[in-house]
Structure 1
């Protein structure tokens, strides 16, 4: 009974997820960002520009300087202190631009221009010379042309970097007194175009003059070359306009996006056009996307629905891997990966909570929520609701929640499971009527072909209600029922929190599938059952994974049960629903999001909040698939809608990097730490005895889902594994030689990165370890040995025979003594089991293996029930005989790898490697049954003996002692509850 109650509370927990209200429906193409700010380590909240170096690191210009980001950690470069090559000349940075080869980062600050060398992490600084007495202004743009030339727009001046002079040279300047330059573009004819607050200008290099070309008097904020050809020109008058070329800017634009066409403002701060034709436009008010397939309707990127950092985005940047980075004015920056799969998740009206869904005729969908019953058309967005029960309408009971519903195709009626009983709604009615089982709290409902309504309750069982007779014709007392699916007009599969059942309403027969068929747990929390195109049924559980049950169509019975567990994480979470698409792929809603299983049932992909999936999961049973294959899943935050045909599975190709190396140098009695970045080859001198390596996969959208495997080739025998929170490998006291450190990233689905980070490690030998000195030393020792041997050889011959005899005798005596001492130190003399000392040593080794390699184990503590009474009644001799017999039974029922120790008195402690709590329980139950059924015959008397045991899993404990203590507490709980029991 207790286990049923506990499972009921687990399911109730799924229903009571925290709510998240969305203010608008989310289009399927709307991006979702990962945002980083001060709490993540960013040096300052205002990000004015972004670029990327050759390694794939992001570089950010902020008001505090320059930041490097690897997906986890920020490395900050501020104003230089002692050596000007170690930092910037001024803190505030406006612009960053990487050279074409990614070797250098050009930084525009309030004090001028700096060039940062990525590998050496050193700066070179360049001042901006005055141009005809016109002082430089704020750095508005650093531009690198197709040939690698560097151009700087500052105030009214245009500068170019001279490689020969290693200096910035003035090129031209703007003479208009009330205007400043804003942007630069160099076309394929090497013509230099400049944007200014007074129009578009063309540079005449021969005359060192800037001439107005077009857009006279217009404030030009952006000149952006389109990757598809043409140029974007942004002005406050017209917004963002597209021209076929710069020379055509005197003519009318081909098209414009501005406030009149849907942009929030004509004041454009940044433009980014993707290869697919989508145009991202950042304005003073808000950022928008103009989708190529819907160019007339810009979509605003609100911080609420897309998690973008801020309404005002200063800069837009696309990395080589396709990531889109948006830097904001006062909330850090955001990252979006357009290559990942996109789901459409939204709330309808003010009703985020969707507990169940059903499809009706004419593309209509009905769903239940805590606010009532709703009708919704996914194609048009039309909705009707909420439709409530009488008590809800009268506001008598705020907990009168509708939890499940089923549309009856024949009558058009809707039947509902509510907390007040069986509900009924006929389209056109004004409310939901409670027509039967009043006062019985329901969880699921379905209608069979005969029109009978099957009602699954929280705790009152399953009822079959016949509307024509207005009477309950069948009842089975079952625990909380999560799903009912019909085999035929008279039989149904019933999923409950204590197993899967098959019931016949005519005969009343009911069968627990787990008790009859090996391979399916009899007491599993079953959350879903639905037919499979493979034949049979898909079954989802809570923390027991997925099963495929094959059915004999003629006999309607189970032929076999197949566990489907391509990834262990699926067996650790609560699964809500399973939908199979036309290709045989499996889509699973669960407590953390949505999972995909490939048609061969081998590959798993997990989709989370970065894909548009609700991060607080989905309700048990709240899923439906339309005729066109579109899948709808309901949860605490609303509905997620997707068509599997439109979900792409992009390859996971992280750029794994060794981000930093720390070397510990021991000299003159102290340890000094040297930190090195961008290392491909590490050479350790003899006094450098230890080094630590930090690594990262440059995964900027979901870095915490990445784990790592690393190995020092020719040293580590196997891969070592760690997670995103501990991305460090440390090695000490390596022998002289050459090694290679290899680091792989592993995503949530268990896929390893194709490319690994590699670092060669050379350990230089000490002078005495070098071949020459070792040869001299060996030769000297050899000559000394030969000399000594010649002097001693005669004496050794005389004594050799005597010594040989003495050594032989002493050796035999010593071996016998060692054997005896070893046995006495590690073995219990009564039972011949291992003793407490041996077990303590073995448990330390097991704990070290668990800490380093994750090799888990369980401990079982057994106590003989009423053993004192046995000693008092039959004598200690009988008690000793019983302990010896129990030791024999333990050996017979355990593996050779298990360690059995007599812990003290009548207590036995057993070490069970590689077994979890559930598996250890069945081993303990097997031992308990063996002992309780064994005939202990002592001194002519049959003695009945039972045991009580407690089991603990090391993964639930902080130490071996904690694990033993946990098992001991469970043992005493078993004794308190009546003994002869196994407590896990």
Structure 2
């Protein structure tokens, strides 16, 4: 991949109009302040930002602000931060407007450090440099040195060594290590420049060189090139100092230089607090007359500091606009900034058509309600061609003529030297949306809001038209035609409608329409994904690409009018389902302009496919592409128009990155609560390392749910990658996340050992085989450990022994309940049968003689049943009821029997009859019978009902009322639940039984 700075050089050579889209991002929102004074990249690749009002930390997604406004000892001593550095222990050194601070991420704490314990006044820190175990601190009044290879508490107690022998009471503005001797430092000050070396044993500074020609010069910054030259800045000039010749050259007048950097390719970058960002190619370092280029793409010309990241990203600290940073990828997308060439600034930048004439090297583009423009690449000039503020839908060169589709027809563009004119060639009553030629050069096909026109050019240069739409013969499926494609192989005109789907017009020899094959979203097997068609193309392998509102359709011909369709949508990896424009490059890759960015689709020989997506993060001018607004030149340059400007690229220049970025864990949560290193988490320390260094963690048995966020070390690329993860021991396959959702969560995991595998994609969304891992151990719950099982066995044996001892007592209580129930039933039967006879006399008014005849039978039956029941109850081996219990049962049975026929008779009534409270009555009945009074009362009603039914003297509905039921349906329901039969069924079965006994 080419470096960022080669791309920027190309940008500078073409800055007047088109630029390769190294993307400059602005990072202002959520910063504690927009004035940035210092920048630092830590060992993880994350960016620390010192501002006028606080310290900020940026991980590529979020910004964290530290201790703003705190005045205690454990916060920043001052919020204005001029210098930042990181030592080997990962501590961040912070130089402020009022002293020195240390921040330890591992403990999330600040420590204020005094440079001079004997002077109460704190000093402004300008710059830091860490050389091995030593920190060099440049302040407004001199240089300090301290050994930092010790604990923070000891550093706070130690004294800094003040260096007075170099520049007495001078402001130290910059310190740089000599590239050839790492023990040697160069110091820039308000009184010149010096080359020094520190003797660690003697704790002394040796001055190796101090150019006298710079003794009174205020030097703000310096850096080395590859030829041992020092480039340095003074107040209003860029200078070069030759070490070998001891010679100073003024190179360029630039006001208020704030910083300068030499990049990895040897190129020079210079910032100014008034004039912006400048660039000088290393190839021109020896040519003093060479122009240093000024870049105008930063958000403001007020630049305070520069930082070159390890990945080549250039970070730019501005005054008033936060941080800008340059995208490091080699994005060959060439943007065309048309805004400054549009005369009427109210006109939209929505590009609806674009076409490049390679012979004249001119690019024509039409705007939405903005007319037609031309950009001459040779002269780097743009002109308005014409058409006022009309919407220009299409631009094509047909038969040597440049034709333009717009409102009310087709226009022809004429060029004479540097001037252009437009005249109407073909008039139509509606807007022309697309123009294409066919096999016959005398014919032009036009899509319009009224349908499809075929215009035939006559000998007298006039045109004869034929319109095809819903009303024509043959008829088409719509009127609003949006896009055309002519298939020369099959002599077919393909038409895409808005709402009418796809129509394939078969043409005869004279290119008249013979028949129409309609393919839409509603007709049988001839189906496409949506009836709103936006773009049509044919691939190099003979497949047809149809872009709709709902995905890309890839049609493969299987017969004259039959096609096999493959539909690709967001579910397959596209950025959007609305496919606006389609082009295919020389390698066969399909480029799709969608409503949310651009996708590159590659179809492999085995019919599998891969997708790489591009959006604004990649340097595109907009994510929203225009309807069939694309074109391709013979040389392979592809143009796409968007709702904001247009761009071009050559696919051969696009290098696809397949190397995944280094990924780490950003935040770790247990049961929704974030875990911090060296901080108490419910009585224990979960980790003693930073989360992004976490490789293992142990969770307690109740901590079965955890979640975390991912992040990458190259923060300038963070929003362009995707993530994948798999929890070994739980997940069978890898799961994938987009950069907008980098959070994962696992809930209620079983105890055991797990291994979380995770990785990040490349900036092109491609994953390689490398991954990181996190070991997660969820401890076994105490109730599943060996000693728990031992206790379970002991408890179980104890329970069995207790059960064994209580067996006879339980049996005795059970027998008493059985005895009580039998006795209660017996007594109830006696009373019920007597009550039934009396009730029968009153209800049926039968004669006394008949009742007398029935009574002996009843008494005989009752006596017989009593004998049986008493026989069942009495058993000398079983406990007997007490006298009190027998008295209670007698009274209970009599009370129930007397109240059975009363529907208002309830448990509360029964309690009053017995003269007992609810609780006492409930306990007594339960104790004696083992049942509830409600069940006993209900059972008594139903048994009395059954007895009355067997007498064959009452209707079922009468029986229900006799036994106290108000609702015969409810009575039948309860009766069936108890006896398993309805009252009628029970009556019928009793009749049959009696007949069988009689016979």
How far 1:56 moved relative to its partner? 3.1
Q: Are 2:220 and 2:235, in contact at CA under 8 Å, matched by a contact in 1?
A: no
Partners of 2:564 and 2:671 in 1: how far apart? 59
Pair 1:34 & 2:21 matched: no
Residue of structure 2 equivalent to 1:543:
550
Q: 2:184 aligns with which of 191, 195, 198?
A: 191
Pair 1:350 & 2:359 matched: no
How far 1:32 moved relative to its partner? 1.7
Q: 1:736-755 alignment to 2 at 5 Å?
A: 737-742=752-757, 751=766
Q: Are 1:663 and 1:691, in contact at CA under 8 Å, matched by a contact in 2?
A: yes
Change in Cα spacing, 1:558 to 1:72, as seen in structure 2 (3 Å) is same
Partners of 2:630 and 2:647 in 1: how far apart? 9
Change in Cα spacing, 1:545 to 1:201, as seen in structure 2 (3 Å) is same
Q: 2:592 aligns with which of 585, 588, 593?
A: 588
Partners of 2:617 and 2:17 in 1: how far apart? 14
Q: 2:126 aligns with which of 140, 149, 167?
A: 140
Residue of structure 2 equivalent to 1:492:
493
Q: Are 1:517 and 1:561, in contact at CA under 8 Å, matched by a contact in 2?
A: no
How far 1:777 moved relative to its partner? 1.0
Partners of 1:195 and 1:608 in 2: how far apart? 43
**Which segment is superposed worse, 513-522 or 595-604?**
513-522
Q: Are 2:80 and 2:96, in contact at CA under 8 Å, matched by a contact in 1?
A: yes
Residue of structure 2 equivalent to 1:826:
none
Pair 1:597 & 2:583 matched: no
Partners of 2:711 and 2:656 in 1: how far apart? 23
Change in Cα spacing, 1:249 to 1:675, as seen in structure 2 (3 Å) is farther
How far 1:144 moved relative to its partner? 1.8
Q: Secondary structure at the match of 1:596?
A: strand
Residue of structure 1 equivalent to 2:244:
248
How far 1:476 moved relative to its partner? 0.9
Q: Secondary structure at the match of 2:335?
A: strand
Q: Secondary structure at the match of 1:128?
A: coil
Partners of 2:464 and 2:165 in 1: how far apart? 90
Q: 1:255-654 alignment to 2 at 5 Å?
A: 258-259=252-253, 265-284=254-273, 285-291=275-281, 296=290, 298-302=292-296, 306=297, 308-348=298-338, 349-351=340-342, 352-360=349-357, 361-369=359-367, 370-378=369-377, 380-383=378-381, 385-389=383-387, 392=388, 398=389, 400-408=390-398, 410=399, 412-428=400-416, 431-468=421-458, 470-477=462-469, 478-488=478-488, 491-497=492-498, 498-503=500-505, 504=507, 506-512=511-517, 514=519, 518=525, 520-521=527-528, 524-550=531-557, 560-563=564-567, 568-570=572-574, 572-598=576-602, 600=604, 602-650=609-657, 651-654=659-662
Change in Cα spacing, 1:346 to 1:441, as seen in structure 2 (3 Å) is same
Partners of 2:315 and 2:549 in 1: how far apart? 38
Partners of 1:33 and 1:744 in 2: how far apart? 27
Q: Are 1:524 and 1:544, in contact at CA under 8 Å, matched by a contact in 2?
A: no
Q: Secondary structure at the match of 1:479?
A: coil
Q: Are 1:581 and 1:644, in contact at CA under 8 Å, matched by a contact in 2?
A: yes
Change in Cα spacing, 1:587 to 1:119, as seen in structure 2 (3 Å) is same
Residue of structure 1 equivalent to 2:65:
76
Q: TM-score, normalised by structure 2?
A: 0.65
Partners of 1:565 and 1:522 in 2: how far apart? 10
Partners of 1:759 and 1:83 in 2: how far apart? 37
Partners of 2:803 and 2:72 in 1: how far apart? 65
Tell me how many residue pairs correspond in the alignment: 740
How far 1:624 moved relative to its partner? 1.8
Change in Cα spacing, 1:316 to 1:665, as seen in structure 2 (3 Å) is closer
Pair 1:105 & 2:92 matched: yes
Q: Secondary structure at the match of 2:163?
A: strand
How far 1:149 moved relative to its partner? 3.0
How far 1:385 moved relative to its partner? 3.2
Change in Cα spacing, 1:115 to 1:583, as seen in structure 2 (3 Å) is same
Q: Secondary structure at the match of 1:777?
A: helix
Residue of structure 2 equivalent to 1:224:
223
Q: Are 1:80 and 1:89, in contact at CA under 8 Å, matched by a contact in 2?
A: no
Change in Cα spacing, 1:548 to 1:271, as seen in structure 2 (3 Å) is farther
How far 1:311 moved relative to its partner? 2.0
How far 1:419 moved relative to its partner? 0.7
How far 1:362 moved relative to its partner? 3.4
Residue of structure 1 equivalent to 2:108:
121
Q: Are 1:693 and 1:728, in contact at CA under 8 Å, matched by a contact in 2?
A: yes
Partners of 1:732 and 1:522 in 2: how far apart? 38
Partners of 1:622 and 1:277 in 2: how far apart? 41
How far 1:613 moved relative to its partner? 0.9
Q: Secondary structure at the match of 1:570?
A: coil
- The CA deviation string for residues 335-381 of structure 1, in whole angstroms up to 9 with x for no partner, is 33312524111233534443223343333333333433333333x25
Residue of structure 1 equivalent to 2:34:
45
Change in Cα spacing, 1:559 to 1:685, as seen in structure 2 (3 Å) is closer
Partners of 2:404 and 2:59 in 1: how far apart? 52
Partners of 1:294 and 1:573 in 2: how far apart? 49
Partners of 1:584 and 1:220 in 2: how far apart? 56
How far 1:637 moved relative to its partner? 2.5
Partners of 2:685 and 2:31 in 1: how far apart? 24
- The CA deviation string for residues 194-241 of structure 1, in whole angstroms up to 9 with x for no partner, is 112232223376875767414343321112244x56454222377444
**Which segment is superposed worse, 699-708 or 613-622?**
699-708
Q: 1:591-740 alignment to 2 at 5 Å?
A: 591-598=595-602, 600=604, 602-650=609-657, 651-661=659-669, 678-679=690-691, 680=694, 681-685=696-700, 693-697=708-712, 700-701=715-716, 713-714=728-729, 728-729=743-744, 737-740=752-755
Change in Cα spacing, 1:455 to 1:333, as seen in structure 2 (3 Å) is same
How far 1:786 moved relative to its partner? 5.6
- The CA deviation string for residues 739-764 of structure 1, in whole angstroms up to 9 with x for no partner, is 44555557897645866565444445
Partners of 1:293 and 1:581 in 2: how far apart? 35
Residue of structure 1 equivalent to 2:134:
149
Residue of structure 1 equivalent to 2:916:
none
How far 1:406 moved relative to its partner? 1.6
Q: Secondary structure at the match of 2:599?
A: strand
Q: Over the residues paired in the alignment, what is the CA RMSD in angstroms?
A: 4.3
Change in Cα spacing, 1:123 to 1:546, as seen in structure 2 (3 Å) is same
Partners of 2:713 and 2:635 in 1: how far apart? 38
Q: Secondary structure at the match of 1:784?
A: helix
Q: Secondary structure at the match of 2:574?
A: helix
**Which segment is superposed worse, 434-443 or 771-780?**
771-780
Partners of 1:572 and 1:517 in 2: how far apart? 26
Partners of 1:289 and 1:566 in 2: how far apart? 42
Q: Secondary structure at the match of 2:19?
A: coil
How far 1:96 moved relative to its partner? 1.0
How far 1:605 moved relative to its partner? 1.5
How far 1:150 moved relative to its partner? 1.9
Residue of structure 2 equivalent to 1:65:
54
Partners of 1:143 and 1:513 in 2: how far apart? 74
Q: Are 2:661 and 2:714, in contact at CA under 8 Å, matched by a contact in 1?
A: no
